[in-house]
Structure 1
Amino acid sequence: MKTAVQLLQMYLESIQNPRAAAALFAEKGAIEIPYLQSLGIKPRAEGPGEIEQFISSLLAKVPTFAFKRVRFLIDTPDQAFAEYDVEAQVPATGRIYRQSYAGRLVAHEGKILLLRESMDTLAAANAFAPLN
């Protein structure tokens, strides 16, 4: 059975394949990014179908989105915490999206039950805001 760290590593590595990334989640599994609400984006996706759509919509806006420089700080069989970065161009604005995420993953029976991420909304707003 996959541990929380293994699941988080697999999720981060498969972000370019929304179906594969979403398949790591339990039927009632969820991804939450609470700070997205301040940007007018639904902050929670639940179940593999919604999660796949969420990731697909992200990749439509940032096709080269990929996580790098992963640093695991907590590693237990059912919980993991890591920091990871993204640096990718946003085609609609031509700007580079530079972001550091902090993610806490809760695993249950070899699937992701919850992945809650935090991020810098100012960095997101600067990269995605329409050009003036």
Structure 2
Amino acid sequence: MNNAKQLLAAYLESIRDPHAAAALFADDGVLELPYLKSLGIDGRAQGPKAIEGFIASLIAKVPDFQFKNVRYLIETPEQVFAEYEVEALVPSTGKIYRQMYAGRLVARDGKIALLREALDTVAAADAFSPARAD
């Protein structure tokens, strides 16, 4: 059975394959990025199919999206909390998306029941917004 740390590691490593990443979630599992609401984005997806679509949409916008520099800060068999980074080009804006995520994963029966991630919405808004003409 996969514990929380193993599930988070597998999710982070498979993020560029939306189907594989989403398959790690329970049928009622949730991927939640609540702070995206401030950018007008629904940051919640429930169930593998919806989660796959959410991740695929992200990869379409940032093809080189990949997590790196993972630091596990709290770990139990059922829960893990970690920080991880992304640095990738956003082709539509020509800007680099630099982000530090903080994620809390709750595992249930060898699957992800909840992955809630926090991020810097100002950095996200800047990377995805076209450059302004001054």
RMSD of aligned C-alpha atoms? 0.5
Q: Matches of 1:39 and 1:89 in 2, distance apart?
A: 19
Which residue is 2:19 aligned to?
19
CA deviation map 1:60-94 (0-9, x unaligned): 00000000000001111000000000000000000
Which residue is 1:101 aligned to?
101
Aligned length: 132
Q: Matches of 1:32 and 1:86 in 2, distance apart?
A: 17
Misfit runs of 4+, over 2 Å: none
In the TM superposition, 1:14-93 aligns within 5 A as 14-93=14-93
More displaced 10-residue stretch of structure 1: 37-46 or 97-106: 37-46
5+ residue gaps, structure 1, are none
Q: Matches of 1:67 and 1:40 in 2, distance apart?
A: 24
TM-score, with length taken from structure 1: 0.99
Amino acid of the structure 1 residue aligned with 2:90 = V
5+ residue gaps, structure 2, are none
Shift of 1:130: 1.9
Q: Determine what percentage of the aligned residue pairs are the same residue.
A: 67
Q: Matches of 1:76 and 1:28 in 2, distance apart?
A: 22
TM-score, with length taken from structure 2: 0.97
Q: Matches of 1:128 and 1:34 in 2, distance apart?
A: 18
Shift of 1:43: 1.4
